[in-house]
A and B are shown apart, each in its own frame.
Chain A
Amino acid sequence: MSGFGVQAVGLTVRYGDRVAVDGADFTLAPGRIHGLLGRNGSGKTTLLAVLAGLRRPDHGKVLVDGEEPFENARVMAGTGLIRESGDVLAGNCVGRVLEFAAALRPYWDDAFAARLVARFDLPLGQRVTNLSRGQRSAVGAVLGLAARAPLTMLDEVYLGMDAPTRYAFYDELLADYIEHPRTIILSSHLIEEIERLFEGVLVLHEGRVLVNDDADTIRDRGLSLTGPVAEVDAFVARLRAHGLRELGRRRLGGTEQVSVFGTLDRAARELARDRGLEIGSVTLQDLFVHLTDSQRPEQSRPDQSRPDQNRDDAHRTDAHRQESPR
């Protein structure tokens, strides 16, 4: 059991007049951890719902392990979607919720579940509705991990957790994934800490696929150039002529930093260094912000640096800082 692969062809899902997923085409290789990124309202949750057989596509199709998931007993039993809202029977205590899942999930591991409950310090006798947000998220994590579904999808499950719980979650996820390889999709709009777990990345924006690639390949293609304004401008202009895409600009006094999507060969890098430009990388988080921002027409005007976009901010581990939804 090494995980279900996913393939979408022209996938379209509508809620009445609103198009949530708009002709999405992508492939997710089996047995890997994939990040599903997108702003609020980008179609992530809808996409996951379709993969779990909770909705049917309006157009196009999606294949999980080679078959359409809707009302497909084998695929649905092997697919586990955990949402932050927690789809558990109301009024039940944690222990009963886990028993329930154990009865329904064919690959459930009781011993693993028990270990996780101890690790997250969950009170088995308490009603789920009486738990704190962080504890409820932890219950979701246990349900998602202990089920060992060949396609496991965790939708923003860790948002309610405090830092120690989050790290425990990442550790358990990684360790169990290594021992029991399966396909895992981690969906989020907040990716600072979790992006290092990704092997593949799928970025959705307004229902369409923006990026679908290997995580390290994407990271390789994100570059930042920092230096005196004139030098940076000139250099970036040359890059643009070669087809590299500018993602964003920041200026602070006489220094400018431009983020670029593309690769520089050795010669270009040496040239940049000669010109006094500093080459840095762009984290997936920043790439994601830039890519989804850059879809707006007002972009590519040099901006005064905005405090909340200061690069140092991005490196502070502050997963509770949420982007303003759009």
Chain B
Amino acid sequence: MSTMTPVRVGLGPTLKLRPAEIAVVRRILVLVVKIVAGVVPIAALLMTGVVAAIAATSSITQSTWEIAGQWPRWWLFVAGITAVTTYLPVLVTHGMTRWAVFRALGLAGLLTCSLWTAAMVVGHVVERFAYARFGWPDRMTTSHLFGNGYDVLPMILEYELIFLAYTVAGALIGAVYYRFGGIRGTLLLPLAGLPGAIVEALVSGWYQSEDRVGLPDSASAGPALVLMSVATIVLGAAVLHLVIRDVPIQSKK
């Protein structure tokens, strides 16, 4: 069959994507793009309205777009849960192995987070530019890895890491619920949600006494933070894999 599996490389599970998996990723991305394309302009409009209102009544002293960053992370968290509880059973029943589902959903998740990161970064840059025209400061009110709206590289890192962590946390919770049921799922909930909490904490510098804005002074702390966050995400994904790799698919009857 020309559409069937490509040649396997090595003895282990192949990493190459099969047509079915590409189809799944594409299907998910189409949905996500629609959502992002719909939500972001609306958010931008709202923000502009808020800024205009504040500027008219008092004065702008801080960034407004920063607040928008809350929305994607929780959306991704819920999306993670739903992706596992709805897609996993249906895809396996349609003949995909759990490993293939993991790969496909993983890639889709990565691309989705990147989309949201891009949206956030663009928003920040636009805001900084707009603020500069009016002479307003775009001070960040909470800790970040980036110092200001043009600090693009740390910005990308931060948002990508946080979004990935929240997605993995959601997926983990979905997987735990699906496999162990409501009661055990609820008990394990705090554990499953850890990746998000950990990365958030790392990025926002909880270990320091005052709010830090911008990369920490110590030259090695920055990379260390990023590494720890990445490790947390990878660990979360590994646990997710362990939970779903041999999960029995239930009958809906």
* B253 close to A77 (CB less than 8 A): no
Task: With A71-B98, A107-B1 as known contacts, state yes or no: A52 contacts B246, CB within 8 Å.
Answer: no
- Residue in contact with A87 in the complex, picked from B93, B97, B99, B248, CB distance below 8 Å: B93
Interface residues of A in 40-80 (CB under 8 A from B): 45, 49, 52-56, 70-74, 76-80
* B252 close to A90 (CB less than 8 A): no
Stretch with Cβ within 8 A of B (4 or more), from A97-105, A110-118, A301-309: A97-105
* A104 close to B253 (CB less than 8 A): no
* A106 close to B93 (CB less than 8 A): no
- Residue in contact with B18 in the complex, picked from A73, A89, A100, CB distance below 8 Å: A73
Cβ of A84 under 8 Å from chain B: yes
Task: With A71-B98, A77-B4, A77-B95 as known contacts, state yes or no: A103 contacts B20, CB within 8 Å.
Answer: yes
Q: Complex: how many Å from CA A141 to CA B134? A: 65
Q: Complex: how many Å from CA A71 to CA B99? A: 8
Cβ of A85 under 8 Å from chain B: yes
Q: Complex: how many Å from CA A88 to CA B100? A: 18
Q: Mark A109-149, 1 if CB is under 8 A from B, else 0.
A: 00000000000000000000000000000000000000001
Cβ of A83 under 8 Å from chain B: yes
* B3 close to A73 (CB less than 8 A): no
> Smallest CB–CB gap between B196 and chain A, Å?
26
* A106 close to B3 (CB less than 8 A): yes
Q: Which of A53, A56, A74, A83 has the most CB of B within 10 A?
A: A53
> Smallest CB–CB gap between B5 and chain A, Å?
6
Classify the secondary structure of A's interface with B.
loop
Q: Complex: how many Å from CA A85 to CA B249? A: 13
> Smallest CB–CB gap between A277 and chain B, Å?
45
Q: How many residues belonging to B are interface residues under a CB distance threshold of 8 Å? A: 31
Cβ of A81 under 8 Å from chain B: yes
Cβ of B23 under 8 Å from chain A: yes
Interface residues of B in 1-41 (CB under 8 A from A): 1, 3-5, 18-20, 23-24, 27
10 nearest A-B pairs in the assembled complex, by CB-CB distance: A103-B23, A85-B252, A87-B93, A54-B249, A104-B94, A77-B95, A55-B248, A104-B20, A71-B97, A85-B253
Question: What are some 25 contacts across the A-B interface (CB < 8 A)?
Answer: A45-B251, A49-B248, A54-B93, A55-B248, A55-B249, A70-B246, A71-B98, A73-B100, A76-B96, A76-B97, A77-B95, A79-B95, A80-B95, A81-B93, A85-B253, A86-B252, A87-B89, A87-B93, A87-B252, A89-B87, A100-B27, A103-B19, A103-B20, A104-B95, A106-B95
Residue numbers of A with Cβ under 8 A of B are: 1, 45, 49, 52-56, 70-74, 76-81, 83-90, 100-101, 103-107, 149
Further pairs besides A54-B249, A71-B97, A106-B95: 20, Cβ < 8 Å: A49-B249, A49-B251, A54-B93, A76-B92, A76-B95, A77-B95, A80-B95, A83-B251, A84-B253, A85-B252, A87-B90, A90-B86, A100-B94, A101-B94, A103-B19, A103-B23, A104-B94, A105-B95, A106-B19, A106-B20
